[in-house]
Amino acid sequence: MTPTTNEDAIFEAVTGLLGRHRPAGAVVTPATELGADLNIDSVAAMDLIMEIEDHFEIDIPVNQVGDMRTVGDLAGLVRKEVAAKQG
Amino acid sequence: MVKPTTTSNARLAFRSEGFATLAEGLDYAAGGETGVNFFGPRGDLLRALSYAELRGLALDFAARLAATRLKRGDRVGIVAETGPDFLVAFFGCQYAGFVPVPLPLSINFGGREAYVERLRGMLLAAGARAAIASADLLGTLQEAARPTATAFVATVRDLMDGPCVGGGLAPLGAGDPCYIQYSSGSTSFPRGVLVTQSAIAANARAIAVDGIALRQGDRCTSWLPLYHDMGLVGCCLTPILNQISVDYLATTSFARRPFVWLKLLSDMGGTISFSPTFGYELCARRAENGQVPALDLGRWRVAGIGGEMIRANALQRFAETFAPLGFDPRAFLPSYGMAEATLAVTFAKRGRGVTIDRVARGEALERRKVAEPARTASAPIRDFVVCGRPMPGYAVEVRDAHDNPLPERHVGRVCIQGPSLMDGYFRNADATRAAITPDGWLDSGDLGYMMHGELVVTGRSKDLIILGGRNIWPQDLEWAVERLDRVRAGDVAAFAVTGEEDEERLVVLVECRTRDPLEQVTLRRAVQATVQRVAGAEATVVLVPVRSLTFTTSGKLSRATAKGHYESGLLRDVAEAYEAGTAVPVEAFAATA
């Protein structure tokens, strides 16, 4: 798998996990804001992180949540953690 | 494999009384085998620390702190992550004669800047001379500390690797402060409660002896944040002053996997655990969408509730959901308190469960402010949870606006007396004057009434917003929203409204200077984003006509009036007010943007 397709796959998976947070019909792009566009509050954020952790079998450092503004940021972090896990 | 600390001490006698300071309490607990245990996000035991080990590390850390430039009584900010380092630093300060200031954690998407500002506000208000965080958060804390008086920002590890003094530590004594609790106040003007050694000793003793009757064999389980009074005093300091073992789960782990809390209670044999209503609610809600694990909750004898208005329906759902696992609804123990009183003031009677006072809605309650018992089943009713009697040594008085005591069942300001009341907010005489009555009672800012000597809380008189147990200062939201394009100072009012089941909903009114529906959508979205960033909460954003917010004669925004107008329907959204039914759904635009 080339890095590009891997990147796309992770973005797709993250978008899929956004599922019920996503307003019907909304198109999610890397620039979509987690708070503003998807209205994910702090409890829903933890829910989402759990789903992502379970799906990718990674642990997301909670202190990095504050730096994540968009779906692209989130996918980037997942990518980093997945890469770290694969060593 | 890490082995958890035992529940009971083999030889050390259980003791709740006679500790004048926290250091004395830990010294005593260190004579046994009990201690603290930290669990990971999936309930795996990461680290166990007996109180003897904690004391050893804290003394070591104290010797390093004493070797720095800090002077006795200096404040040390500590980011209160749930882990051994926080306890080592907190107790290190006790042994070295410094005053720890627990600092909060933040978990909002995109909330970094708001978090840095909040930390900075607290460091400045406390005049902190040093600040401590884990390696993960060190950068954030350094950024926050840059324009403050802090001499250094470090991890526990950094200091442990540094020089130390040979001896001669002078712990904080009986007449000294103990720590500063920042749980209220806005970002720019945080209000820190200075908790003294005598206040913590008095409150911890009262909680243990009169509130929950702690005894040998009890074990505590907690996911509450250690920067909050309920987590710090209730589930950390009180257990230490009673040599009780505690099993900790980080708050963020609980929020992700609430069942891990129940699993720990079951696996470790926890008998005592506290949560705001929303913690119980989260478990019940998670059970609806998934499978409930096989657990034994039969040993849980005190399921304490506090920290926000207690909601009976949510607790009932929890009890019904988990009854098959042995949860006894009589374990529910409603309580009432606040950081200004160190923590607890009233407790309901143990073993009684949740008691509801069912009162008649309507003219008596809303206009005459009298909570009359509901007589007929058909008339509108309002259920309130009874929070119990003040503990021995404490007093609660419900007063009118002129400080006159009100008779039973009359709703008024809940005022408090007791041995653990704060002397005042740290370096904030104005806020102190506003909170303490001329005759020395604490005005809690809550509204309520007394019934057969028990307190019933009905709401708040002050503007503070409490969402899921978190205090949110409306000014923080208003100021942040005012900084947006097209919004001016004084255009915004934030408040919480209470729904049918006492759940709080955040409402932000913004005066709208544009008639362009597309610009209105953009503004609405920007306000929502701002609220998410600052408070990590969803808000109902209402764009109201210009000049519809009211101000007091002294120029202060009247949130109470704005809220009243909104609730009565007098203030409506411009989209709704001009052309009912043609409002453009936000999602439609977010999707195409």
Low-confidence ranges of chain B (pLDDT < 50): 579-593
Are B393 and B207 a contacting pair, CB within 8 Å? no
Residue B192, C-beta contacts closer than 8 angstroms, at least 6 positions apart: B101, B122, B125, B126, B180, B181, B182, B185, B425, B426, B427, B428
Q: Which of B137, B255, B588 sits opposite A46 (nearest CB)?
A: B255
Contact A37 B525 (CB under 8 A): yes
- Collect all residues of chain A within an 8 Å Cβ-Cβ radius of residue B108: 35, 42, 45, 65-66
pLDDT confidence of residue B514: 86
- Collect all residues of chain B within an 8 Å Cβ-Cβ radius of residue A27: 591-592
B562: Cα within 13 Å, side-chain hemisphere: 30
pLDDT confidence of residue B584: 36
Contact A35 B528 (CB under 8 A): yes
Residue type, A3: P
Phi-psi region of A6 (alpha: psi -120 to 50; beta: other; left: phi over 0): alpha
pLDDT confidence of residue B579: 46
Domain residue ranges in chain A: 3-86
Contact A62 B105 (CB under 8 A): yes
Backbone angles phi, psi at B40, to 5 degrees: -80, 180
> What is the β-pairing status of strands B190-196 and B177-185?
antiparallel
- Collect all residues of chain A within an 8 Å Cβ-Cβ radius of residue B591: 23, 25-27
Mutate to test the interface with A, among B46, B109, B540, B586 (most CBs of A within 10 A): B109
Residue B18, C-beta contacts closer than 8 angstroms, at least 6 positions apart: none
Q: How far is B471 from chain A (nearest CA, A)?
A: 14
Q: Which of A25, A45, A47 sits opposite B591 (nearest CB)?
A: A25
Contact B112 A47 (CB under 8 A): no
Any idea of the CA torsion for B482, B488, B490, B493, to the nearest 10 degrees?
Answer: -40
- The CATH architecture annotation of domain A3-86 reads Orthogonal Bundle (1.10)
Instruction: List the single residue in B with minimal CA-CA distance to A31.
Output: B593
Instruction: List the single residue in B with minimal CA-CA distance to A51.
Output: B256
pLDDT confidence of residue B592: 30
pLDDT in tens, A23-71: 666 788 899 888 777 777 777 787 888 889 889 988 887 778 888 889 9
pLDDT confidence of residue A16: 87
Contact B528 A36 (CB under 8 A): yes
Go through the domains of chain B in sequence order and give each one's CATH number.
Answer: 22-275 (3.40.50.12780), 278-289+296-462 (3.40.50.12780), 465-592 (3.30.300.30)
- Collect all residues of chain B within an 8 Å Cβ-Cβ radius of residue A60: none
Backbone angles phi, psi at B314, to 5 degrees: -65, -40
Contact B109 A39 (CB under 8 A): no
- CA dist., res. B132 & res. B34, Å (int): 27
Whole-angstrom CA distances from B344 to B238, B448, B515 are: 11, 16, 50
User: Which tokens is B213 given?
Assistant: 């009757």
**Neighbouring-strand partners of residue B557:** B551
Residue B308, C-beta contacts closer than 8 angstroms, at least 6 positions apart: B276, B277, B278, B466, B468, B469, B504
Q: How far is B562 from chain A (nearest CA, A)?
A: 25
**B517 and A CB contact within 8 Å:** no
User: Which tokens is A68 given?
Assistant: 């994540």
